[in-house]
Amino acid sequence: MLVSSKELFKVARKNNFAIPAPNFVDQNSIKAYIEVAEKLNLPVILAYAEAHKNYLSFDEALYLGKYYGEKAKVPAVLHFDHGTTKELIIRAINEGFKSVMIDASMDSFEDNVKKTREIVEYAHLRGVVVEAEIGHVGNGEDFKSYDVSDSIYTTVEEAKKFVELTNVDSLAISIGTAHGAYKGTPVIDFDRLKEIRNAIDTPLVLHGGSSSGDDNLGRCATEGISKINIYTDLVTAASNKAKNTKFEDYYDLRDAQMDGMKECLEHYYNVFQTKKFI
C-alpha cells in the first residue's frame, strides 16, 4: 500500500530505528525491494532519483512506483529523490509521488530556504511531504564517483533556522558520509548528529549510506537518523552475485542480480534495526 512517510518517521524517531530508502532504476530492482519488505513485514521507501532519469525515465518510474507500491502488502512510500528541477518536482507532487526531495544544498542558505519553502507550500496543499538538505553530502556525476572532500557539514544553528523558515517534513544532514563507494570507511560525526537531533523535532535523513560501515550505520539509526538512503551497495551486490553465479540464460542472470539486491537490502534492514509497525 502506498503511504506517506510522515507517520512512519514519527514511529522511527520515537523508537530509535531507521527505514531504508533504496533507489530503484528498473522493474527488477523495485520488485526485489518490495519482496524483501514483504518477507520481513517491514515498510520500505521506494526512491527514484532525478539523476537516474537516463536509466529510467520519470514516466516509467512513476508507473512502476505506483503499480508496485499500491500492490505491496506493507507500507510503501514512493519518493522522488534529489530533485533539482522545479518542473519535475512539481510533476512528482501532482502525479503520484507521496514524498519529494528538493535538493538545493549547493545553493546559498538563503536560496535553499527560498526554493524549499516554495516546494513545501505547494506540496503540503496536496498532501505530499517534503525532504530537503542542509549542508551537502559530496557527490559526483550520475552518482558514480564521489569525493568526500565535496561534503559540507551541517551546523546545528543552520539546521534549526532552516526548519523554522521552511517547515520541511524531513531534513537530510551531512555528518561524514558521501554518495557512492569509498576507498576507506568514513568517520561519522556522532556528536554533531546528537546535537542536531536534540535541537530539532524534524526527522533526520542520511544520504550516502552505502559502504559507510555497519557499525556506523547502526549507530546512526539508533542515535537519531530515521531514513537511510542506499544505492551503490545494492547494485554492487547485484553485480557480484551475477559474477559468482553460473547462469545459462537471461533469466538466470536476472534472478542472480535480484538475489544479490535482496540479500543486501535484508542485511541493511537488520543493520538499521527497522521494526514492524503493526
Tell me the C-alpha distance between 4 and 116, whole Å.
19
- Alpha-carbon distance values, 15 to 96, 126, 221 (Å): 29, 28, 10
Q: Which residues pair with 170 in a beta bridge?
A: 131
Phi, psi of 3 (to 5 degrees): -135, 170
Contact 53, 24 (CB under 8 A): no
Looking at 81, 103, 169, 233, which residue is catalytic?
Answer: 81
Query: Cell triple for residue 54?
Result: 537516463
Cell 538466470, residue located: 252
Question: Catalytic site residue 81?
Answer: yes
Question: Cell 510533476 maps to which residue?
Answer: 91
At 221 the three-state DSSP class reads helix
How far apart are the two ends of the chain, measured CA to CA in Å? Answer: 14
Catalytic residue set: 81
